[in-house]
Amino acid sequence: MISAFNETAAKEFVGHYSDIPEELALRIYTSHLIGRNPDLVLHGGGNTSVKLNQKNIFKENQEILYVKGSGVDLATIEPEGFSGLDLSFLRKLRNLDSLSDDEMENQLELRKVESSSPNPSVEALLHAFLPHKYIDHTHADSVLILTNLKHGRSLIKEALGSKVSVLPYTMSGLPLAKEVVSQYEKNTDVEAIVILNHGIFTFGEDPRTSYERMIEYVNKAESFIKKEMRGKALITPRTDISSFKNMEAAPARVAQTLRGVCAHQASNGNLRRFYAETRNEPDLLNFSLSREAQTLCTSGVLTPDHAIRTKNKMVYIESVPDNDNDLKDVIKQNVESFKKYYHQYFQKQLKNKGIDRKELDPYPRVFLIAGLGLISLGFTRKDARIAADIAEHTIRAKLNAGALGEYIPIIDSHIFDMEYWSLQQRKLHLSSSTPLLQGQVAVITGGGGAIGFGIADRLLATGAVVVLSDIDEPRLQKARSILVEKYSESQVEIIAFDVTNYPSVEKAFDKISRKLGGIDIVIPNAGIAHVARIEDLDPDKLDQVIAVNLKGTFTTIKASIPVFKRQGTGGNIVVISSKNVFDPGVAFGAYSASKAGAHQISKIAALELAELGVRVNMINPDAVFGDEEISSKLWDLIGPDRMKCRGLDCQGLKEYYRNRNLLKASVLAEHVGNAVVFFAGNQTPTTGASLPVDGGIPAAFPR
């Protein structure tokens, strides 16, 4: 790895952050350099600090420690991501013999110079006690590879040289901070401190020195490993695992089944589902088919910090049966034995430590599947991605370590202390209330139009991950860019497919499952219209409208059934029907008849899918126009004709429809979205029902 420090870029940074001290701006610059290198830190791991002299409110000089906020990602940290703390006070804490977690948190909170700044890193005291102006800390893979080997201490010494101190693993907080500073005081020539099974600290009086020392020492570890590895094989391929007969379908089947097996009741009684993330780079595939896979999956994390993201062990699945029931059995057995292991680990640690804690859910987060690669789980998509990234790095690092010597797992006691540390669990946001549809994946057809957009917006607001589909890609892109701006990039996916073509729908559902783990909410919404009286209606036009509105609803429902079956966690189909089903209009035969057919097939689906716990309900909107940004494709098409018929302009037409209903309400796409959320949230035990969203049209009352 080479130093990414660039004087020009550093100067630009200082210019960009002209309202903060130059030293802090440079601190942000080198923090980004570290955060953007996944071989150094991953997702909020590691931390950095700078010590500044500043005037307080009385114009007195005060030493302030700016340290990274807990869980803040170094790659994107901004000034607000640092917490400024009264340094001279923090230094006094060194005189204490012990400090409880609550008291440490309290003291750090009290010493903030800005009350709104984030909770400081759990390693804040270490940064405070060391005298250096700049301190950088990472969990570099290569350093961990060496420290986690049988003779880790001597290997690190040999690789990094004499200007490095090596300390045994100590839990972060006051004990580690005191240990590190006294070690430093014994030899003030050292340029770095390595903590076994944890990571490396470097320091300096300027940002470049501290950062480049990090690069220098990590490089030393890397080249030592490279040299030692020469000629050694990473894996021994297995010959006893035959490849799958149906390799094409396997990844989606496994992801859907896995996700279903791991869904469980939360404490509030709701079903808690995971999102899945799949990784299948060639080296991971080879590893999954190696003799080393089983042992390596269960030999533990590289550093205890990772345990809250990945749990300490991964699950290795070495066979993927072609039959769905057999596959479910295999996955169930593996998950059950993991849960048993996790309960035992938890109980044993409580007993050994004589303490009481609330057990986290016992479900695995990372699976390695022979021939398929890695699947990780997370309650949010971000969590699933973090677990996958950490697992990938862990596998690669442990393969290297395994080729170099004996890998020594970190003892359970250390893992437990970190996993059940309140300051660490805070990163999981366990206490914040879970949005209604978090954990669920919704697919909306006709996602490029006004109603599809309105539905997506409401589902996103309630925590679901939404997949918008349409045949019109530019419209899809536009809808996505608006929604990503409002929500997050990881919550919105788009996929173009043609609802009139069943194989195209099947393929899309397979792709969605590979990407997200499965599907829970299906919204057949794609529709087209054609205005013509029966005597003028071209039979081919009728076929086209039926293909999208009726057949398209059928294909979407049909393709979802195998997904629901494999998941075994129920689900919701919410069909966007029409007011016209109950109250058709002249010259609107193709639309009304095809929508009525779709409505009827949805009722049949309600009858047939109830045994899977899948509810099928219909929403009957009327006159949803959309806005200038995302218009209604239906009204783009029929609006001009309707305006001409009634001698109205666009605004006049909207008013006409508003005044036509009992409540004199403008019906908006978000109203349809609210109705979808009502059904998708399982608020009532309802299936086969129709809900009008039309402001009240007596002729269209469902009956």
Q: Which residues bind Zn ion (CB under 5 A)?
A: 199
> Which residues, at least 6 apart from 15, have a Cβ–Cβ distance to it below 8 Å?
none
Query: Smallest distance, Å, CB 403 to Zn ion?
Result: 26
Cβ proximity to Zn ion: between 199 and 378 the closer is 199
Query: Smallest distance, Å, CB 394 to Zn ion?
Result: 15
Cβ proximity to Zn ion: between 199 and 362 the closer is 199
Per DSSP, the three-state class of 316 is strand
Q: Determine how β-strand 571-576 pairs with β-strand 614-621.
A: parallel
d(CA 27, CA 65) in angstroms, rounded, equals 12
> Are the CB atoms for 408 and 150 separated by under 8 Å?
yes
Closest CA to 366 of 270, 293, 461, 416: 293
d(CA 26, CA 11) in angstroms, rounded, equals 8
Query: Smallest distance, Å, CB 198 to Zn ion?
Result: 6
Query: Smallest distance, Å, CB 47 to Zn ion?
Result: 7
Query: Smallest distance, Å, CB 686 to Zn ion?
Result: 50
Cβ proximity to Zn ion: between 243 and 422 the closer is 422
Query: Smallest distance, Å, CB 321 to Zn ion?
Result: 42
Query: Smallest distance, Å, CB 399 to Zn ion?
Result: 23
Query: Smallest distance, Å, CB 303 to Zn ion?
Result: 7
Cβ proximity to Zn ion: between 411 and 663 the closer is 411
Query: Smallest distance, Å, CB 201 to Zn ion?
Result: 9
Cβ proximity to Zn ion: between 69 and 199 the closer is 199
What residue has token string 């699945």? 317
Cβ proximity to Zn ion: between 136 and 212 the closer is 136
Query: Smallest distance, Å, CB 44 to Zn ion?
Result: 11
Which residues, listed in sequence order, are joined to residue 495 by a DSSP beta bridge?
Answer: 469
Tally the C-alpha atoms within 13 A of residue 689's C-alpha that lie toward its C-beta: 13
CA angle 443, 446, 452 (to 5 degrees): 75
Query: Smallest distance, Å, CB 308 to Zn ion?
Result: 13
Cβ proximity to Zn ion: between 140 and 455 the closer is 140
Cβ proximity to Zn ion: between 101 and 324 the closer is 101
Query: Smallest distance, Å, CB 304 to Zn ion?
Result: 9
> Which residues, at least 6 apart from 695, have a Cβ–Cβ distance to it below 8 Å?
622, 658, 660, 661, 662, 663, 664, 665, 666, 667
Cβ proximity to Zn ion: between 123 and 498 the closer is 123
> Are the CB atoms for 339 and 359 separated by under 8 Å?
no
By the 10 Å C-beta count (0-12 exposed, 13-18 middle, 19+ buried), 455 is classed as: buried
Torsions phi, psi of 622, nearest 5?
-140, 135
Cβ proximity to Zn ion: between 138 and 617 the closer is 138
> Which residues, at least 6 apart from 274, have a Cβ–Cβ distance to it below 8 Å?
259, 262, 263, 363, 377, 378, 379, 384, 439, 517
Closest CA to 683 of 617, 605, 600: 617
> Which residues, at least 6 apart from 376, have a Cβ–Cβ distance to it below 8 Å?
276, 277, 279, 310, 365, 366, 367, 384, 385, 387, 388, 391
- Which two structure tokens, joined as six digits, stand for 485? 């701006």
Query: Smallest distance, Å, CB 667 to Zn ion?
Result: 54
> Which residues, at least 6 apart from 387, have a Cβ–Cβ distance to it below 8 Å?
277, 309, 310, 365, 366, 376, 377, 378
Query: Cα 349 to the chain's mean position, in Å?
Result: 29
Residue least distant from Zn ion (Cβ): 199
> Which residues, at least 6 apart from 253, have a Cβ–Cβ distance to it below 8 Å?
320, 324, 327, 566
Cβ proximity to Zn ion: between 41 and 499 the closer is 41
Torsions phi, psi of 90, nearest 5?
-55, -40
CB burial of 541-551 (b: ≥16 within 10 Å; e: otherwise) equals: ebebbbbbbbb
Query: Smallest distance, Å, CB 346 to Zn ion?
Result: 23
Cβ proximity to Zn ion: between 199 and 371 the closer is 199
d(CA 82, CA 120) in angstroms, rounded, equals 7
Cβ proximity to Zn ion: between 397 and 442 the closer is 397
Q: Which long-range contacts (CB under 8 A, 24 or more apart) does 402-405 make?
A: 402/234, 402/292, 402/296, 403/229, 403/232, 403/233, 403/234, 404/145, 404/146, 404/149, 404/225, 404/228, 404/229, 404/232, 405/149, 405/150, 405/151, 405/155
- Which two structure tokens, joined as six digits, stand for 228? 């030692």
d(CA 468, CA 512) in angstroms, rounded, equals 11
Angle between the 207-229 and 22-35 helix axes, to the nearest 10 degrees?
Answer: 20
Query: Smallest distance, Å, CB 34 to Zn ion?
Result: 12
Cβ proximity to Zn ion: between 70 and 690 the closer is 70
Cβ proximity to Zn ion: between 5 and 169 the closer is 169
